[in-house]
Amino acid sequence: MLNPLLINPAYAGLNNNFNAMLGYRTQWVGLEGKPTTVNVSAHSSLMANKLGVGVMVIQDKIGNISNTETNFSASYKINFKDQMLSFGMQAGIQNYQTDFSELNIFDPGDNAFVGGERGTRVNIGAGAILKSEKYFIGLSVPRLMPSKFENGGQEFELYNQHYYLAGSYVHYLTSKIRLKPSLLFRGVKGAPASVDLAFNVNLNGIHTAGLFTRNFNTYGLLVQTLLKEQYRFGYVFELPTNKSVGSNVTTHEITFGVLLSVLSFHERSLSNF
């Protein structure tokens, strides 16, 4: 929920202002070849807040394998009395590569480990979001085209279609204290479904703290604050259990964002989503 643009292109320009965000995630610290992710994104509303555009760059790395993805997104928003419906699409490229020099190879002369593997594929994704002041529902498939990679006469799937369903609701305890439960469901062929459940408390629309779990295998803490109503800082701590990879490794994620009203029609009020 810190940056829905990463999984849903319909989020581009949804808040009727300009947003930019930088995120870094290191997963399972202490495990050799641990996954790391770096993402940079920016999006803004245009045309009197009827359209949205965005761009993001994501790099995933695990062991000697890295994947860099660049996507450009566009959205169209329809305003109702108390709701907004946004449709979005994204297009970009994925660059996949392996670096065998990072491996401890038993036989350095093995021809199977000479050089490395590289490949570039085109990506298309789509999504939709329905939101109001109190709720948010998003459905997306950020990679519509299954991506296959061929090397040495062998073929394997780099990506398959992932389906995301995200939802959140805001309950006002007082004018300053808000409860914000949220859910993120992910489904993909060949793997069990994944469900993230979170329960957050927000103060004045500025400070947020919450707890979450992923499939009741991993538990975590989320904190976020907004300084001068422009600069957003976030931190996520995750602790897996023995049902996952064990509790001897931890995961950390840091985000920094900027929220600005750049154009005359941009809104200066803070959004719950």
CATH number of the domain bearing residue 227? 2.40.160.40
| Average pLDDT estimate for 110-120 | 75
Could you give the CA distance from residue 19 to residue 270 in angstroms, rounded to a whole number? Answer: 12
pLDDT for res 154: 67
Look at residue 219 and tell me if it is in a domain. yes
Q: Which domain range does residue 127 map to?
A: 9-100+113-260
Look at residue 171 and tell me if it is in a domain. yes
Residues 6+ apart with CB under 8 A from 247: 239, 240, 241
Look at residue 122 and tell me if it is in a domain. yes
Look at residue 61 and tell me if it is in a domain. yes
pLDDT for res 1: 67
Nearest to 128 by CA among 10, 16, 7, 15: 10
| Average pLDDT estimate for 18-32 | 93
For the stretch 163-214, pLDDT in tens is 999 999 999 999 899 999 999 999 998 888 999 999 999 998 899 999 999 9
- The alpha carbon of residue 118 and the mean position of all alpha carbons in its chain are separated, in whole angstroms, by 24
Paired residues of 45 in beta bridges? 52
What is the count of structural domains for the chain? 1
pTM over 0.95, yes/no? no
Q: Render the burial of 141-168: b for 16+ CB within 10 Å, e for the rest.
A: bbbeeebebeeeeeeeeebeebebebbb
Could you give the CA distance from residue 239 to residue 245 in angstroms, rounded to a whole number? Answer: 10
Q: Render the burial of 77-106: b for 16+ CB within 10 Å, e for the rest.
A: beeeeeebebebbbbbebebebeeeeeeee
- Specify the pairing of strand 154-159 against strand 147-151: antiparallel
